[in-house]
Amino acid sequence: MTEQETRRQRQKRFERLAHVVAEPLHRYLLRRTHADTAEDVLSETLLVLWRRIDDVPGLGADGAPDPDDVLPWCYGVARGCLANAHRADGRRLRLLDRLMRTRPQQPAGAADHGDLHAALAEFGELDREVVRLWAWEELGPRQIAEVTGLTANAVSMRLHRAKKKLSTRLRTGRTGRENTARSGHGTDEARGGQ
């Protein structure tokens, strides 16, 4: 038997098995978890069944499998996949809890960046990403070009325009009027006085 014939035969066996067990497994999972998780776990279960098709008891080479022979083993696989999903959810929740507890609290009087975020929200997605990569990730135009698929020249132009827009937006603030006091400077200092 050739490799292609073996693959086709394996695929037919799996299709016959899936036809018999998919619906009962779905019902089994829906009774044990919410619908979204049931869908994901069913997919994972079918993947395990595909990989372990030769291990499924009661699955002959030809003909439809008897549900009484194959379902108990398949339920066991689904149960294991569901347990894995629950453990993964628990790990994610514990990590989230730990991150929330260790997140540094903003000190009193810390800068409010609401205006900056509002100004960034007015940009298109690509321009916003270019600014973030430049400011937050400290990448240069050539590196940003590699990330975004733009040319380095296009990144430089977008960055120049974005900085100009941000400067204007932050200088005028939400009121639309020029804000003459610069952040962190007294009025004498802002004008260059002694």
Distances (CA, A) of 24 to 2, 21, 33, 90: 34, 5, 15, 26
On whether residue 2 sits in a domain, the answer given is: no
Pull the structure tokens for residue 111: 């800068």
Same domain, 89 and 25: yes
129, pLDDT greater than 90 = no
Residue predicted with more confidence, 28 or 147: 28
Same domain, 98 and 126: no
Same domain, 41 and 93: yes
Lowest mean pLDDT among 17-21, 86-90, 182-186: 182-186
Same domain, 74 and 23: yes
64, pLDDT greater than 70 = yes
Same domain, 63 and 96: yes
On whether residue 30 sits in a domain, the answer given is: yes
Long-range Cβ pairs for the range 120-126 (8 Å, 24+): 120/166, 122/165, 122/169, 123/162, 123/165, 126/150, 126/158
By percentage, how much of the chain surpasses pLDDT 90?
A: 41
Same domain, 124 and 70: no
Same domain, 178 and 148: yes
Q: What is the pLDDT of residues 94-127, one digit of tens each?
A: 998 888 888 666 556 556 677 777 888 888 888 8
Average pLDDT over residues 140-161: 91
For residue 28, what pLDDT is reported? Answer: 95
Same domain, 176 and 95: no
The parent domain of residue 38 ranges over: 8-102
Which of 102, 137, 164 is the endpoint of a domain? Answer: 102
Same domain, 50 and 90: yes
Q: What is the pLDDT of residues 21-31, one digit of tens each?
A: 999 999 999 99
For residue 181, what pLDDT is reported? Answer: 47
Q: Which pTM value belongs to this model? A: 0.53
| CA–CA distance, 33 with 184 (Å, rounded to integer) | 54
Same domain, 27 and 94: yes
For residue 130, what pLDDT is reported? Answer: 87
On whether residue 192 sits in a domain, the answer given is: no
Confidence of residue 147 (pLDDT cuts 50, 70, 90): confident
178, pLDDT greater than 60 = no
CATH for 178: 1.10.10.10
On whether residue 143 sits in a domain, the answer given is: yes
Same domain, 18 and 89: yes
Q: What is the pLDDT of residues 16-62, one digit of tens each?
A: 999 999 999 999 999 999 999 999 999 999 999 999 998 998 887 67
| CA–CA distance, 6 with 188 (Å, rounded to integer) | 84
On whether residue 189 sits in a domain, the answer given is: no
CATH for 66: 1.10.1740.10
Which of 102, 123, 151 is the endpoint of a domain? Answer: 102
For residue 44, what pLDDT is reported? Answer: 97
**Total domains, the chain:** 2
Which of 102, 126, 151 is the endpoint of a domain? Answer: 102
Same domain, 82 and 155: no
Measure the N-to-C terminal CA separation of the chain; round to a whole number of Å: 93
